Amino acid sequence: MLSGIILASGFSRRFASDKLTYRVLGMPLVEHVVKNCLDSKLDEVIVVYRKIQINEYLKNYNIKCIKNENAEEGMSASLRLGIENTDPKSDGYMILMGDQILFDSNDINRMIEEYEIHEKIIAATYKGKRRTPVIFPSSYYDRLMKIKGDEGGRSILKDSGNDTIYIEYDSIKSIDIDRMEDVDKVLEYLEE
């Protein structure tokens, strides 16, 4: 069983408004990510959110929405909260960002298929640089639960050596939307 955890507790400091509720093609960014996850081979989807509007937008989907009361502690608080709320039978956690709307169900499934073959950490890359999403086997549970601050799973990836398989993706697939210009890039790509 593989759990998808969408991190949606950020503060959108570089964006003109709350980016996760910003509408692209008629729906909030985070909803695109949820739909991509639900269309994939993930067995469960969990969204860790900060703003109540996100829960409202997603209430009609068959997912778990968990409010992060400690979002100011950084990404690690969201990561831990998501992992704590996975099904006990989960043997891995796919960590996704709530603003990576171009990483579609086919991309997610490609990572899942690699995970099913190798049962190692599976990480997306662009030009050799680690990006999200990342799949961590449940054997990393204790290490993931000790992460602090805004580092996410970077320190684990850095130390994982041969226990990680990297999958190269186009830059646009791994774009996270931090500024309005990023929305323009996404829309350009979708119009092609």
- Tens-digit pLDDT profile for residues 72-88: 888 899 999 999 999 99
Count of structural domains, the chain: 1
Quote the strand ranges of the chain, DSSP E: 2-8, 23-24, 27-28, 44-49, 64-67, 92-97, 121-126, 129-137, 164-168
More confident of the two residues 109 and 154: 109
Q: How confident is the model at residue 10 (pLDDT cuts 50, 70, 90)?
A: low
Distance CA 176, CA 168 (A): 16
The mean pLDDT value of the chain amounts to 88
pLDDT computed for residue 108 by the predictor: 97
Q: How confident is the model at residue 119 (pLDDT cuts 50, 70, 90)?
A: very high
Name 149's bridge partners.
Answer: none
Name residues whose C-beta falls within 8 Å of residue 57's C-beta, 6 or more positions apart in sequence. Answer: 21, 27, 28, 30, 31
**pLDDT digits 0-9 by tens, 26-38:** 999 899 999 999 9
Q: How confident is the model at residue 15 (pLDDT cuts 50, 70, 90)?
A: low
**CA torsion angle 1 176 173 149 (round to 10):** -40
Q: How confident is the model at residue 112 (pLDDT cuts 50, 70, 90)?
A: very high
The three-state secondary structure class of 145 is: helix
Distance CA 24, CA 41 (A): 24
Q: Could you give the percent of the chain with pLDDT greater than 90?
A: 55
Tell me: pLDDT of 6 over 60: yes
In CATH, what number is assigned to the domain containing residue 143?
Answer: 3.90.550.10
Tell me: pLDDT of 172 over 90: no
Domain that holds residue 164: 2-191
Q: What is the pTM of this model?
A: 0.91
Question: What's the whole-number mean pLDDT along residues 164-192?
Answer: 80
pLDDT computed for residue 13 by the predictor: 52
Question: What's the whole-number mean pLDDT along residues 138-155?
Answer: 86
Query: How far is C-alpha 74 from the geometric centre of its chain's CA atoms?
Result: 15
